[in-house]
Amino acid sequence: MSYVIALPEAMSWAATDFAGIGSALESANAAAAVHTTNLLAAAEDEVSIAIAELFGTLGQGYQNVSAQAAAFHEQFVATLSGNASSYATAEAAAAQPLQSLMDVINGQFVAATGRPLVGNGANGAAGTGQNGGAGGWLIGNGGAGGSGSSNAGADGGAGGAGGASGLFGCSG
């Protein structure tokens, strides 16, 4: 049994967040490059020049490693974004046959009783006082009743009743 949970929205959010981190690091590295790769010697002697060259070489080495890390980071963000999209597409494709089956089953119940087996009831239209639709017999929340009349200068009419819920559900 797998205990991994994948939420496409969370993956997309994480990819966006990681992209922002990458941008901040690239900006910081670009700002540091000027001050760490082209160093001036403290004096005109051989030791000062050698030390400046050594530190400049180390700074350039850091910039090279940083560029490789940035490339890896960009690939990681692209992979994470792509996987979020792929997962959402696969999830929708996997749910489609189940939805078709539920449409067939619910169609039989609606034809026989006027209510689906599983599903939420429709909300009543606003300003009409219309009753909410009944939820599914087994699972489903009843729809919320519509609000009363909103005509200017007129008393507000009574709102519609919430729809009946199923065995597991809440009345609207």
- Residue 126: the pLDDT is 82
Does 43 have pLDDT greater than 70?
yes
Are the C-beta atoms of residues 115 and 46 closer than 8 Å to each other? no
Q: Which of 169, 167, 150 is nearest to 159 (CA)?
A: 150
With 80 as the cut, is the pLDDT of residue 100 above it? yes
Where residue 59 falls among pLDDT bands split at 50, 70, 90? very high
Residues 143 and 138: their CA atoms lie apart, in Å, by: 15
Least confident of 13-17, 98-102, 144-148: 144-148
Structure tokens at 107: 């169609």
pLDDT on residue 78 = 94
Q: What is the pLDDT averaged over residues 33-50?
A: 91
CA distances to 106, 107, 109, 132, 144 from 113, rounded to whole Å, are 10, 10, 6, 16, 20
Mean predicted confidence (pLDDT) in 57-61: 95
Tokens representing residue 43 in the block: 């004096």
Model confidence at 95, pLDDT cuts 50, 70, 90, reads confident
Would you state the pLDDT for residue 17? 95
Taking the model in full, what pTM does it have?
0.54
Domains detected in the chain: 8-99 (1.10.287.850), 115-172 (no CATH)
* Predicted pLDDT at 48: 94
For 116-167, write each residue's pLDDT tens digit.
888 888 888 887 878 888 888 888 888 888 777 665 555 555 666 666 766 6
Q: Mean pLDDT, the chain, as a whole number?
A: 85
- Evaluate whether 107 touches 138 at the Cβ level (below 8 Å): no
State the pLDDT at residue 88.
Answer: 87
Distant-in-sequence contacts of 90-95, Cβ < 8 A, 24+ apart: 91/8
